[in-house]
Amino acid sequence: MKQRRRIYEGKAKILYEGPEPGTLIQHFKDDATAYNAAKHDVIEGKGVLNNRISEHIFTALNRMGIPTHFIKRVNMREQLIREVEIIPVEIVVRNIAAGSLSQRLGIDEGTVLPRSIIEFYYKSDSLGDPLVSEEHVTAFGWANPQEIDDMMALAIRVNDFLSGLFLGIGIQLVDFKIECGRLFENDMMRIVVADEISPDSCRLWDIGSNEKLDKDRFRRDMGGLVEAYTEVARRLGIMNENE
């Protein structure tokens, strides 16, 4: 097989050069990390599940006119995507208190928030992705005010869509993270949703039982991660084909 040029390797994914200029191949690994990679494991089957679940979500976002980097899934572990310039800011949207919000502010996990909250985190492994304000984002030139507006608008649209999608299959969307990128096309630049959206990047609770169907199963040593992700995929109506 032809050797592909590896552009970037992250904790859970690898980016390879794509078949056409301006495209990349996004490869999903089985690696799971938490607490800024202090905790690491390989969970067989996770990459395949995230590839399928993220494909399902990004295809729907594209159909709804929410711009993303996603073109198509090409095999069990890989997708064809548009090359974007990743903005080094993670956008987290929260509907229910959990995780670092509960820890930082002492709000009981499971408390329904009076309104959805958007937060920014600076993408930096060495600093452990610190929480930052819009002021930091603009002052340090990570994104300009228009780009922040665009990212927030995308995050709100994704939240509305995902909340409804998961509610329809008996799952509460507690919170999630997205990454955005600058897509350059025909002398134009626009901000699109990039990276992945999967149970690695969302908190998903079963509505009947409150069972966690997301990466907290790994973070909190609960076990049953592949079973939980498979359940999410099953309810979304994917993973039925023999591949």
Chain residues binding ligand C5P by CB under 6 A are: 90, 92, 98-101, 129, 175-177, 201-203, 215
Query: How far is Cα 54 from Cα 25, in angstroms, rounded to an integer?
Result: 14
Q: Which is nearer to ligand C5P, 175 or 231 (CB)?
A: 175
Q: Which is nearer to ligand C5P, 81 or 202 (CB)?
A: 202
In whole angstroms, the minimum distance from the beta carbon of 149 to ligand C5P comes to 21
DSSP 8-state symbol, 218: H
In whole angstroms, the minimum distance from the beta carbon of 90 to ligand C5P comes to 6
Q: Which is nearer to ligand C5P, 37 or 42 (CB)?
A: 37
DSSP 8-state symbol, 224: -
In whole angstroms, the minimum distance from the beta carbon of 152 to ligand C5P comes to 16
CA distances from 56 to 42, 53, 118, 143, 229 (A): 23, 5, 24, 28, 13
Looking at this protein, which amino acid is placed at residue 30?
Answer: D
Half-sphere exposure of residue 207, counting CA atoms within 13 Å on the CB side?
Answer: 11
In whole angstroms, the minimum distance from the beta carbon of 175 to ligand C5P comes to 4
Q: Which is nearer to ligand C5P, 75 or 111 (CB)?
A: 111
Exposed / middle / buried, residue 142 (Cβ in 10 Å: 0-12, 13-18, 19+): middle
Q: Which residue is nearest to ligand C5P (CB)?
A: 99
Asked if 184 contacts 38 with a C-beta cutoff of 8 angstroms, the reply is no
H/E stretch holding 66 reads none
In whole angstroms, the minimum distance from the beta carbon of 34 to ligand C5P comes to 9
Q: Which is nearer to ligand C5P, 8 or 185 (CB)?
A: 8
SS3 at position 97: coil
Q: Which is nearer to ligand C5P, 18 or 162 (CB)?
A: 162
In whole angstroms, the minimum distance from the beta carbon of 27 to ligand C5P comes to 18
